[in-house]
A = this chain, B = another copy of it.
Amino acid sequence: MNNHKLAHIGISSNIRAACASKLSYISTIMVRAKHFVYKKHFDGFPKDGDLVLEEEELPAIKDGEFLAEAVYLSVDPYMRKYAPWQPLNKTFYGRQIAVIKDSKNSKFPKGQHVLASFGWRSHTISDGVSKDPFPIKILPDYGGLPLSLGLGVLGHTGHTAYIGFLEISQPKVGETVVVSGAAGAVGSIVGQIAKIKGCKVIGIAGSDKKGKWLTEELKFDRFINYKTQDVKTTLQEFAPEGVDYYFDNVGGEISSTVIYQLNPHGRVSACGSISEYNDGGQKVTPIYFPLVAKELKIEGFQSRSWYHRWDEAVAQNLKWIQEGKLKYNETVTEGFENMFVAFTDMLRGGNIGKAIVKA
């Protein structure tokens, strides 16, 4: 029985329920789900028509399943990055915080909130088994903090910042740290953890508004606006002692420039390369020379390889927030229908802190 087709020809849910005699149980809750379908592979910057908002009627939940309704959805740089490997004509991928509206799965009771990789959809039926390496997680108690933080500082971006900085870099007190994409969801947390660990922190971002937030609110030592300042000479001015560690969210020429300023035995945590996602990777200054001459160590990493330390990262970030040591900002777009707008705005650098959509 194909519920999508039934919905299309407009048979009412009562008639459909009668038809569905093969199903062991028919729930009383049936909903029309909205979702963004990946229609065309992005060619350069994502365009209208690449993702199309469609509706589908969901079947009733069966034993072991639950129905979840999106509350907050995440838009992240990685969605552009790995889009070439996503299947067409399916719901586009991503994570959301959803509330369980109905359940026939005792592990996921009605009323609970979950963090899950359901993709860009308003309603989801799940059997509780994740389709990607991240398990469906019931949100812990945030002690009164907004649930949306589960997509940011208490979710993947917070986990990424925590692991990427502390595990890959092993920072020492007094070291000079540069963070690119510094006002983004990950970069803004990395810089603050570096301050907590006693480092001198220089952030690179694309507007003075972001810079003001970084230095005045988050207490970064310095800020470079890569759109109006020369990164090399400004960095040499701000860090005459050289750079010990670089946390890279952007790739491209900015990263080559920073890597040339690293001290001997400098380290790089490579977390993202957003500057390259839409330009096809324009040629840049090679880094092979300083790599050898300064015996640098560069390590790329992804959050998913460190899920075994998820709870540790989230608990520590939560503690730092409660102690007033870690601040966050969210750029919130209202309305599920506006996900594509929120996504492209984030790719253009329109967000300060974590970009999310409130469904």
| Interface bits A268-288 vs B (CB < 8 Å: 1, else 0) | 001111001000011111111
Q: How far is the CA of A256 from the CA of B292 in the complex (A)?
A: 15
A58 CB to nearest B CB, Å: 33
- A295 at the B interface (CB under 8 A): yes
Assess the A248–B281 pair: CB atoms within 8 A.
no
- Given known pairs A291-B298, A295-B302, A297-B299, the reply for A283 and B285 (CB within 8 Å) is yes
Provide the residues of chain B in CB contact with A248, threshold 8 Å: 288
Provide the residues of chain B in CB contact with A289, threshold 8 Å: 81, 251, 273, 276, 281
Assess the A251–B286 pair: CB atoms within 8 A.
yes
Q: Tell me how many chains of this kind the complex includes.
A: 2
A185 CB to nearest B CB, Å: 15
Provide the residues of chain B in CB contact with A297, threshold 8 Å: 297-300
- A293 at the B interface (CB under 8 A): yes
| Interface bits A73-114 vs B (CB < 8 Å: 1, else 0) | 000000001100000000000000000000000000000000
Q: Which residues of A contact B (CB under 8 A)?
A: 81-82, 248, 251-252, 255-256, 270-273, 276, 281-302, 305
Q: List 28 A-B contacts (CB under 8 A).
A: A81-B289, A81-B293, A248-B288, A251-B286, A251-B288, A251-B289, A251-B292, A255-B288, A256-B286, A270-B292, A272-B292, A273-B286, A273-B291, A273-B292, A276-B288, A281-B285, A283-B286, A284-B284, A292-B300, A293-B300, A294-B300, A295-B300, A295-B302, A296-B299, A296-B300, A297-B299, A297-B300, A298-B298
18 additional contacts (CB under 8 A) given A270-B292, A281-B285: A82-B293, A251-B288, A255-B286, A255-B288, A270-B288, A273-B289, A273-B292, A276-B289, A283-B283, A284-B286, A287-B287, A291-B300, A294-B300, A295-B302, A296-B299, A296-B300, A297-B299, A298-B299
